[in-house]
Amino acid sequence: MGRADFDHRLSASKLLKIIALSEKILNLGDYEVEVEYQTNTIGRYGLGFNGTSFILINKQTDCLAKNNCGVPEEKQN
């Protein structure tokens, strides 16, 4: 089993530099950033900023195959 790698985290300032450089070089607009974070599974999060630190924001997901995953579909009136 592999060892957890905690030494490859990006600082907020380095991430901002990467985003700014990407926007400039790729001529990108102002888009939302999405983060994948791996623990026991891989989670997808929005990225926010509280004035000091970046924060992960929970994203709502939807089962794409409701008939296969046991989630009943809501009936519309």
Q: Quick check: pTM over 0.75?
A: no
In order along its 77 residues, the chain shows pLDDT tens digits of 555 556 667 777 887 898 889 888 988 877 777 777 777 777 888 888 888 887 888 877 666 666 776 666 665 55
pLDDT confidence of residue 35: 77
pLDDT confidence of residue 13: 83
Domain ranges of the chain: 32-72
Q: What single-letter DSSP state applies at residue 6?
A: -
Measuring CA to CA, how many Å separate 17 from each of 5, 13, 31, 53? 23, 6, 15, 15
Q: How far apart are CA 47 and CA 58, in angstroms?
A: 9
pLDDT confidence of residue 40: 77
